[in-house]
Chains A and B, each alone.
Chain A
Amino acid sequence: MESADIPDAEELDLVKRFRAGNIDAFQPLVTYYESRLFAYLLQMLGNKENALDILQETFLTVFQELASWKIGLTGTTGHPLAPWIYRIATNKALSFLRKQAVREQRSQSAKRQDHIDHDIFPAQHNSSLEERYITRELLRLALLKLNTEEVICLIAHFVDGERYSEIGMRLGLSSEAVRKRTQRALVALRRAYQELGLEVP
C-alpha cells in the first residue's frame, strides 16, 4: 500500500463529491492519511494496538462528520483537511492517555497495563530498555499537561523535527502561534523531566 499524495484542490474536490453522495470519494482520503496518522499516533502512544484503535475511531469520526466540516476555518495551504483530522486524532489519543492515567491511579499500581512496543522506533534500537521506558514516560507525562494544538506542535517539532513555519502551514497557524505552543510544550516537557528525576549528565 502506497501513501499517495493528494493536491489540496483535489482534496477539496473529494470532499465535495463525498457530500454530493459519492462515498467512494472518501477512499483516497483514507489512503493518504492512514500511514501519516498511524505514524503520528504511534509516536504519541508508543503501542501499535492502541494506535490502530485510535486510528479506527478517527476515521469513523471523520467519515461521520465530513459533511459538516467547514472549509476555510482550518488550513490555508497544503491539505485543508489535515488540521481538522489531526485535531480529531489528537483529541482521541489524549482522551485515551488521560483515561489510562486515571485507571493507573485507581489501581494504585505502578505497572502500566498496556504493552509498550519497543521495536517500533528504529532510532531507539541502540537504547536500553530502561532508557526507552524513561523517554516514553517523559513524553506521556508531558502530553497529559497539554491541550490539543500544543500536543500537535510538540510531536511535529520535537519528534518529527519540523520547523515552526512548516507546522504553521500544515495546521493553518502563524509561525508565532506555533512558537508559543511549542514553548508551552517545552515547559511541560521540562516539568516532566524534573518529575522523573532526570538530570543532565
Chain B
Amino acid sequence: MRHKRAQMLLGDYAADELTATEYQELSRHLQECTICQKDLAEIKQIRARLRSFTLPAAELATDPDLISNSFTVSTLVEHAKMEDADLLPGRMLGANSRRPVRRPLTLLIAAVFTLFLLLSTVTIFAVVTSNTNSTAGLHTAPTPTPHSEQRCPTIASSLTPTSTPDTVVSTPRPGEGNCLMSTPTPWLPTATPTPTPLTPTRISTP
C-alpha cells in the first residue's frame, strides 16, 4: 500500500472501519513506515481524549437541571408568538430561569438606528418648515389676529414679568393709552408691485 493511501486510511484503521483487505495491507505498511506509526498513535490519542466526553442520553433524562427546565407546548406557543426572539426575557420554563436571552449588541444597534432616524426626521422637518415660512411671506396673507387678542405695545410693556404669554389682553377702553387699534386691515403684499396696465401710445404718422 502506498504511503499516501495509507495516510488517508489511518483514521478508518483506528476506528476499525476498514475492509479485511484494506486492514491487512495497511497493517503491513505500518510495520515499515515510522511516520504512519507516529500519526496513528496521535489519532488514537485524540480518539481516547474525545471518548471522555461520552454522555448516555438515557442517564441525562433524569438530570435535575434538564427536568426543571423542561419544555411544554404552551410556553413554546407563547414564545413563538413573540415578534422578536431576541427579546425573550429568559429561559422559557422552569423556576431556574437565569441568564436572559437578550443580545446587548443587537439592542444597542437598534437603539442607535432609531436615534439616527429620529434626528434625521427632526432635521428634515426643521428644514422644510423654515423653507415654507420664508416662501409663505411672499404669497399668502397671515391669519389676522383677533382684535381682542392683539397686544398693545403700551400694555405689553406694562405687563408684569409674572404675566403669562398666553394671557389675553382685554381691549382697552377708549382713552386708555393710545393702543386702541383700528380694525386690522388685510396685509397687502408689497414685494411684487401691482402691474399697471399698458397705455397705448399714439403713433404719429408721417
- Do A and B interact? yes
Interface-central residue, B47, B58, B60, B77, by most chain A CB under 10 Å: B60
Which of the 9-residue segments A70-78, A144-152, A153-161 touches chain B? A153-161
Contacts known (A34-B70, A35-B66); A127 close to B52, Cβ less than 8 A: yes
Contacts known (A42-B55, A200-B45); A159 close to B50, Cβ less than 8 A: yes
Which of the 9-residue segments B91-99, B107-115, B165-173, B186-194 touches chain A? B91-99
- Tell me whether A27 is interfacial, beta carbon within 8 Å: yes
CB within 8 A of A38: which of B46, B53, B63? Answer: B63
Q: How large is the interface on B (under 10, 10 to 19, 20 to 34, 35 or more residues)?
A: 35 or more
In the complex, which residues of chain B have a beta carbon less than 8 angstroms from the beta carbon of A26?
73, 76
Contacts known (A53-B99, A138-B49, A157-B15); A120 close to B72, Cβ less than 8 A: no
Cα(A60)–Cα(B71), bound, Å: 10
Nearest to A44 among chain B residues (CB) is B53
In the complex, which residues of chain A have a beta carbon less than 8 angstroms from the beta carbon of B92?
56, 60
In the complex, which residues of chain B have a beta carbon less than 8 angstroms from the beta carbon of A34?
61, 66, 70-71
- Tell me whether B80 is interfacial, beta carbon within 8 Å: yes
Residue pair B99, A139 in contact (C-beta under 8 Å): no
**Interface residues of A, dominant DSSP:** helix
In the complex, which residues of chain B have a beta carbon less than 8 angstroms from the beta carbon of A134?
49
Task: Bits for B25-67, please: 1 = Cβ < 8 Å to A, else 0.
Answer: 0000000000000100111011101111111111011110111
Cα(A39)–Cα(B56), bound, Å: 7
Residue pair A179, B17 in contact (C-beta under 8 Å): yes
- Tell me whether B101 is interfacial, beta carbon within 8 Å: yes
- Tell me whether B85 is interfacial, beta carbon within 8 Å: yes
Q: Tell me how far the C-beta of A63 lies from the nearest C-beta in chain B, rounded to whole angstroms.
A: 5
In the complex, which residues of chain A have a beta carbon less than 8 angstroms from the beta carbon of B54?
43, 121, 123, 159-161
Residue pair A43, B71 in contact (C-beta under 8 Å): no
| Cβ < 8 Å to B, chain A residues 47-94 | 48-49, 52-53, 56-57, 59-60, 63-64
Residue pair B50, A3 in contact (C-beta under 8 Å): no
Residue pair A124, B65 in contact (C-beta under 8 Å): no
Cα(A121)–Cα(B14), bound, Å: 23
Cα(A135)–Cα(B48), bound, Å: 10
Nearest to A59 among chain B residues (CB) is B71
| Cβ < 8 Å to A, chain B residues 77-104 | 77, 79-80, 85, 91-92, 98-99, 101
Residue pair A52, B8 in contact (C-beta under 8 Å): no
Residue pair B60, A39 in contact (C-beta under 8 Å): yes
Residue pair B63, A186 in contact (C-beta under 8 Å): no
In the complex, which residues of chain B have a beta carbon less than 8 angstroms from the beta carbon of A157?
15
In the complex, which residues of chain A have a beta carbon less than 8 angstroms from the beta carbon of B58?
3, 35
- Tell me whether A23 is interfacial, beta carbon within 8 Å: yes
Task: Bits for A163-201, please: 1 = Cβ < 8 Å to B, else 0.
Answer: 110000000000000010011001001100100001011
Cα(A134)–Cα(B41), bound, Å: 18
Residue pair A36, B57 in contact (C-beta under 8 Å): yes
Nearest to B67 among chain A residues (CB) is A1
Residues of A that sit less than 8 Å from B by CB: 1-3, 23-24, 26-27, 30, 34-36, 38-40, 42-43, 46, 48-49, 52-53, 56-57, 59-60, 63-64, 120-121, 123-124, 127, 132, 134-135, 138-139, 157-161, 163-164, 179, 182-183, 186, 189-190, 193, 198, 200-201
Residues of B that sit less than 8 Å from A by CB: 8, 11-12, 15, 17, 38, 41-43, 45-47, 49-58, 60-63, 65-67, 69-73, 76-77, 79-80, 85, 91-92, 98-99, 101
Instruction: Show 17 A/B contacts (Cβ-Cβ < 8 Å), sorted by A.
Output: A1-B62, A27-B72, A30-B71, A34-B61, A39-B56, A42-B55, A42-B60, A43-B53, A57-B85, A121-B53, A123-B53, A158-B47, A159-B54, A183-B12, A198-B45, A200-B38, A201-B45
